[in-house]
Amino acid sequence: MSNIHATAVIGSGAVLGEGVAVGPYSVIEDDVVIGDRTVIESHVHIADGARIGNECRISSGAVLSTAPQDLKYAGEKTYLHIGDRTVIREYVTLNRGTKASGKTVVGSDNLIMAYVHAGHDCVIGNHVVIANSVQFGGHCHVGDYVVVGGLAGVHQFVRIGRYAMVGGISRAALDVPPFVMAGGHASFRYEGLNVLGLKRRGFTPEQIGNIRDAYRIIFQSGLLLSTALETVRRDLPPTPEVVEILDFFASGVYNRKFLKPFNS
């Protein structure tokens, strides 16, 4: 049985799973699906197109799956997908997608703190921690196990690779490769490996050493990026971490701009 407060407004077409709780004055529109045991606190607005998983917790004032803030959006049917066990704190806003991809995606086991905004067509992975008041432009891609510090602004189309950490109050206008730390406002730049985060996630000294060797060549050798990547490919063992780094730099249909070396 669901536990729905008498003042909540639930659309006739909404599908709520077993054990869903909906707090006072929340509004859930018609084309919404919410998984089992998800808790929706007071004054939450969940608009058409939301697909929310099991055992999520959505705090007061959150506004989810509203129309994209994009002048090209023409009312096409799009979605917001949220995985399981994700916590969405107060006044978070997550827009649904546009025809570019059809959906905005937030994975499972994430903590999205108060006042975060994720724009249309963003893809946020699993086990991600996003601190207070982070703002993502449209089409951002955030890998698994990423941490983004409070008040950071992430430019549209920016990609943040797995296990990376972005410092607070950063102006993230460049792609952040996997496994690194990046930060800065006037000059957003590479600040070394996310060693503590990697150790906490069970990376071995050998794995961390291979990652460090790759980034020493990429960021500190003085080689052109294309030459540095070829050197990594030639000189380092093709471990999964090294291959992931190379793939990250090789991928993308846009004219990618990457972090600068920390000593540049």
For residue 108, give the CATH number of its domain: 2.160.10.10
Q: In degrees rounded to 5, what are phi and psi of residue 150? A: -60, 145
pLDDT, residue 252, reads 57
pLDDT, residue 186, reads 87
Supply the residues annotated as catalytic. Answer: 120-121, 138
pLDDT, residue 27, reads 98
CB atoms within 10 A of CB 98: 22
Check if the beta carbon of residue 12 is closer than 8 Å to that of residue 26.
no
Domain boundary among 139, 169, 186: 139
CA-wise closest residue to 88 among 119, 121, 55: 55
User: Is residue 172 in some structural domain?
Assistant: no
For residue 246, give the CATH number of its domain: 1.20.1180.10
User: Is residue 91 in some structural domain?
Assistant: yes
Residues shown for the chain: 264
Q: Say whether both 9 and 124 belong to one domain.
A: yes
Q: Say whether both 131 and 235 belong to one domain.
A: no
pLDDT, residue 262, reads 44
Rounded Cα distance, 178 and 143, in Å: 8
Q: For helices 225-235 and 205-220, give the axis angle rounded to 10 degrees.
A: 150
Q: Say whether both 217 and 109 belong to one domain.
A: no
Q: Say whether both 17 and 103 belong to one domain.
A: yes
Domain span at 51: 3-139
Rounded Cα distance, 3 and 23, in Å: 8
User: Is residue 258 in some structural domain?
Assistant: no
Q: Say whether both 116 and 9 belong to one domain.
A: yes
When divided into structural domains, the chain yields a total of 2
Mean pLDDT by 10 residues, the chain (264 residues): 92 98 98 98 98 98 98 97 99 98 98 98 98 98 98 96 97 94 92 97 98 95 91 98 95 55 42
Q: Say whether both 124 and 202 belong to one domain.
A: no
pTM more than 0.85: yes
User: Is residue 62 in some structural domain?
Assistant: yes
Rounded Cα distance, 237 and 98, in Å: 41
User: Is residue 61 in some structural domain?
Assistant: yes
